[in-house]
């Protein structure tokens, strides 16, 4: 399976490429969003800031949303998940709009939320074998209340409960970094590839 990893031009994608390749994917790092849509599946990585990434993705946002609505499998990770929404309080620019609402700043005494945290997951196939996942987080923004209807997993941080994962059609978004979340996180990436291949 050919998987396009969309490169916003702002970070090291090595660990994510390795996790996808461990799952048997043929990974191409693609800076051109329109070309990335020719792959069998799309991954939006979790590196960078919303404004800069939206600036890179924005011109192709309608094409990406149409492809996802048409069934192209997609996994958005951290910032990649946030780009699946309409906008973000973090910065200007429009997101892809696959999910409704504006990403909001995480409330808490210590922000950003950095480190390991429990993920309370549903029975979605993405979490098979990772039901008791403790995942690695590095973020200051979270999905808006509008995402509650699409949530398939949750995390609590300093009294705030927020969606750890969302799903619509064949598009998954995870707020944590599965590629940095040990064996269970890599298994989640492999589960995405299995679902994408069906």
**Residue of 74, 90, 113, 179 marked active site:** 179
| Cβ-based neighbour number of residue 168 at 10 Å | 18
The C-alpha atoms of residue 5 and residue 20 are separated, in whole angstroms, by 10
Classify burial at 23, counting beta carbons within 10 Å of its beta carbon; exposed 0-12, middle 13-18, buried 19 or more. Answer: buried
Determine whether 177 is an active site residue.
yes
**Residue of 78, 90, 113, 139 marked active site:** 78
**Residue of 74, 90, 113, 177 marked active site:** 177
Determine whether 89 is an active site residue.
no
Determine whether 179 is an active site residue.
yes
H/E element, 173: strand 171-174
Per the document, the length of the chain is 198
DSSP state of 177: B
The C-alpha atoms of residue 31 and residue 56 are separated, in whole angstroms, by 9
Query: Would you say 122 and 128 are in contact if contact means Cβ atoms under 8 Å apart?
Result: no
Contacts with 88 (C-beta within 8 Å, 6 or more apart), sequence order: 50, 54, 82, 95, 102, 103, 141
| Cβ-based neighbour number of residue 60 at 10 Å | 18
DSSP state of 86: S
Catalytic center residues: 78, 177, 179
């Amino acid at each position: 399976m050919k998987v396009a990893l969309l490169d916003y031009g702002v970070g090291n994608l090595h660990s994510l490429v390795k996790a996808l390749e461990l799952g048997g994917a043929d990974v191409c790092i693609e800076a051109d969003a329109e070309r990335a849509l020719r792959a069998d599946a799309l991954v939006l990585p979790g590196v960078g800031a919303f404004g800069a990434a939206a600036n890179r993705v924005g011109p192709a946002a309608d094409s990406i949303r149409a492809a996802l609505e048409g069934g192209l499998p997609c996994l958005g990770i951290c910032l990649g998940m946030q780009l699946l929404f309409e906008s973000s309080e973090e910065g200007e620019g429009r997101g892809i709009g696959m999910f409704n609402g504006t990403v909001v700043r995480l409330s808490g005494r210590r922000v950003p939320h950095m480190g390991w945290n429990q993920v309370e997951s549903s029975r979605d196939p993405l979490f098979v074998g990772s039901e008791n996942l403790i995942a690695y987080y590095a973020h200051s923004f979270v999905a808006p209340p509008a995402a509650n209807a699409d949530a398939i997993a949750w995390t609590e941080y300093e009294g705030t409960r927020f969606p750890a994962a969302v799903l619509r059609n064949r598009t998954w978004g995870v707020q944590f970094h599965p590629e940095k979340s040990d064996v269970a996180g890599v298994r989640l990436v492999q589960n995405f590839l299995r679902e994408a291949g069906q």
